[in-house]
Structure 1
Amino acid sequence: MFGIENRYLRPLPPIVIGLVVATILLYIGSAIAGARSADAFGLAAQDMFGSGGWLTWLLLGAVVVYGIYVWAADGDIWKVGTREVVYMALGAALYGVLSWVFNTVPVPAVSNVTLRPTVVIPIFFGFAFGPVVGFFTGFMGNVLGDALTGWGVFVVWDFANGLMGLIPGLIWLFKDKKRSVNVLVWVTAALLLVATLLPILNSEPVFGEGAETFTEWWWVPALGLVLLLVTYYVPRLWPILMGLLTVGVLYSAISTLIEEGFTGGVAILLIWAVLAGVMAYYLYQRQEAIAAALSDDDTKTIIVWGTLGVIVGIGFAAFADIFINGYTFWVAFVGEFVPAAGPNILFAILLTPLLYGAWRQAQSQSGR
């Protein structure tokens, strides 16, 4: 775009432009949040520099993106034209508004974590339209969602959501995609195994919002590990997995209803349980077709890379909160990473194939 041949200098102009755009969008998000709630944690209430400074972490995030850009400088995945700009705006708007809706469903954690099936949107946009589109969708979508909720601006979490969209788009760097995914599925499985062991090995009491301890959360990444391997290697069982998800969401809705009464979050969970149940029945009636669809290499690819994107993105935010909030390693990763990443991993595995399949069906019908 800028005619720079040196791979180390080539990323600088777009990253500087990105920093300026991101800063403007963060201030806009801060203003919206302030208008929505007097308690919003806007940029004016935050330090700009220092271990918890929002600009410090924005710059550190830019360094991370620079490193990825240099590593992938020879790939044709960074171009941004009119088509990409349209997808960026569409993806960010969808993710932001739908995240605002689901921000009413809290997940027990040491920080403000919610149930967010909409995580499939940046994953899909990154995989289908490239890492730049995916990053903007996740980053700006999270800014918008938090602003509309009236929470404020949280740069490391905005960047984490951006990474969840960027990572899946990197698959197009590999000429032998199938081989790379066959290796990456076991790398991702190993990371999920570590996430499973962390709550079990933790000896430090971790307390947070809505829960006294997080030791029992080991089963969430463990379920993600099972779902990943079963979906990748035994796709015929996928309708059963959707049925189990239905039971889990219904259990969460009933538990919340008993503890808090009927709330907007309970209503959303009940609606989601009904939709998931209908989908499970639909998939069960079409097991052969579903198994064939999940055996498709691109579908397997988006599942694995999407799961990795969640792990990397939420892992970055949890690590950052060690410095920002003074968390210990165990608090950050047992009390924040596992509750935040766990449900998102399940959604990435179970829901992303549905969104991707619907998109491919629409493409085939339109003749593209």
Structure 2
Amino acid sequence: MLRFLDAGESHGRGLCAVLEGLPANFPVNIENINKELERRQKGYGRGGRMKIEKDSVEIISGLSEGKTTGAPMTLLIQNRDYENWRLKSQEETFVSIPRPGHADLTGEYKYATGNLRNSIERSSARETAIRTAVGAVCKEVLKELGVTIRSKVQTLYGLNDTFCDLFDDGLYDLIEKSPMRVLRHQEEFMALVDSAKKNGDSLGGWVYASCEGVMKGLGSFMHYDRRLDGILSGALMSIQGVKQVSIGNPFYIATGAMYHDGITYEDGKIVRTSNHAGGIEGGISNGEQLEVYCYMKPIPSLLLKLPSIDLKTRKNSDSRYERSDVTAVVPLSIVVEHVLAFELLKEILNTFSRDNKEELLAAIEVRKIRIGEIYEKTTDY
């Protein structure tokens, strides 16, 4: 079973994770992981924190001569901003005014530490740095299995970008080079961000991710908690700020006859006439590109004042502001890729449980051959 546990606070010494269950003998390039961390830090509308941090990962166990050993892998990312915080006084770090939309107040309901700073530090989206590192390791393994994950920003505050095939390398190169991770309308997107920043406001939007090479038969309809769409949706909803998840295009309005993906034979192979289901039917992957959309709410840290309270004085108050992004939909697109990478690799290993690369590849090949035999025996099926 693939699993990980992460720890660390936004302004603590660093973030760490232990990733357990990786099969042995898969190559892992640390530079590739650091490139993924760099992608997460980019984007128009990012705040001042990204000018301080330059995330890089240190792997201190589970890797030998550039390959996984089968042992738990320990990853560590240092927080550069820790040096700016470690000498602050208790008075400077004490917080009693919760920010609407954050976990400040609900965290105090739950843990009752008497200082909202404790809720702020652990619930912060800074945690997505280590989740990205974990997902980047999983991406290295998925690459060996022929699975690729790509993403883009689709909407920002009602402004829509063009839909496109993310596996058209020419188009995706344009998306990767765009500071808004869009294919078209880049200037309009950036103007929206500039306007929100000027007004002390923030923006939310949708991101789109697609996974190519996902093998057929991941997930199950046998139990509610094994459905692949439920597993992926739950994981994506756990990303800070995500409020909606859709498997398949949520903007496509259609009747049943228009929506459902026809099944035909072409040269003895089963093919689909469309992919509105987003690659999952009945909780099981069907071999089409797995497509997900996630909506991130506007960031709750605003220069604009919202009604709040002061828990110390027990009086009404204006909300407080902490350094933040204007919008985080650009880094969200990267985080989504890496959350998907972990969950997909976990389901692959649940389906084809093996302890090393060679046996895992052989097990996957057996599944492909078995499905190929079904295709050939069309008169008997």
TM-score between both structures, scaled by the size of structure 1? 0.28
**Structure with the higher strand share, 1 or 2:** 2
Larger radius of gyration: 2
**Structure with the higher helix share, 1 or 2:** 1
